[in-house]
Amino acid sequence: MEQFILSLDQGTNSSRAVVFDRDGNIRSQAQHEFPQIFPRPGWVEHDPFQIWGSQAAVIAEAISQIGINGHNIAAVGITNQRETTVVWDAETGEPVYNAIVWQDRRTAEFCDRLRDEGHADMIRRKTGLIPDAYFSAAKIRWILDNVPGARKRAEAGKLRFGTVDSWLIACLTRNSLHVTDISNASRTMLFNIHTLQWDEDLLRLFGIPASMMPEVVDSSGVAGHTKTTIFAHPVPIAGVAGDQQSALFGQMCVRPGAIKNTYGTGCFLLMNSGTKPIVSANRLLTTIAWKIGSEVTYALEGSIFVGGSVVQWLRDGLKCIASSDDVEHLAGSVSDTDGVYFVPALTGLGAPYWDPYARGLVCGISRGTTTAHIARAALESIAYQVYDIVKAMELDSGLSVAELKVDGGASRNNLLMQFQSDILFTGVHRPAITETTALGAAYLAGLAVGYWDGIDTLCAQWREERAFLPERSAEEVARSIAGWHEAVRRTMIR
- Summarize pLDDT for 16-63 with one digit per residue, the tens: 999 999 999 999 999 998 888 889 877 889 999 999 999 999 999 999
Least confident of 168-177, 299-308, 446-455: 299-308
Range in 80-89, 184-193, 316-325 with the lowest mean pLDDT: 316-325
To the nearest whole percent, how much of the chain has pLDDT over 90?
A: 73
Q: What are phi and psi of 290, to 5 degrees?
A: -170, 165
Give per-residue burial for 367-399: e unless 16+ CB within 10 Å, then b.
eebebbbbbbbbbbbbbbbbbbbbebbbebbeb
Q: Rounded to whole angstroms, what are the CA distances from 302 to 282, 324, 335, 389, 418?
A: 10, 25, 30, 6, 21
- Predicted confidence band at 96 (pLDDT cuts at 50, 70, 90)? very high
Q: Which residues contact 86 (CB under 8 A, 6 or more apart)?
A: 48, 95, 99, 161, 162, 163, 164, 166, 167
Average pLDDT for the chain: 92
Q: What is the DSSP letter of 70?
A: G
pLDDT-derived band of residue 250, with 50, 70 and 90 as boundaries? very high
% of the chain exceeding 70 in pLDDT: 99
Of the candidate ranges 33-42, 180-189, 191-200, 331-340, the one whose mean pLDDT is the lowest: 33-42
Per residue in 378-423, pLDDT (tens digit) is 999 999 999 999 999 999 988 888 899 999 888 889 999 999 999 9
Indicate the pTM of the whole model.
Answer: 0.88
**Which residue type does 493 have?**
I
Distance CA 85, CA 358 (A): 29
Mean pLDDT of 113-127: 94
Give the Cα separation of 351 and 362 in Å (integer). Answer: 20
Cβ atoms of 252 and 436 within 8 Å: the answer is no
The pLDDT assigned to 4 comes to 96
pLDDT at 494: 57
Confidence of residue 366 (pLDDT cuts 50, 70, 90): very high
Band of pLDDT at residue 357, cut at 50, 70 and 90 = confident
pLDDT of 348 above 70: yes
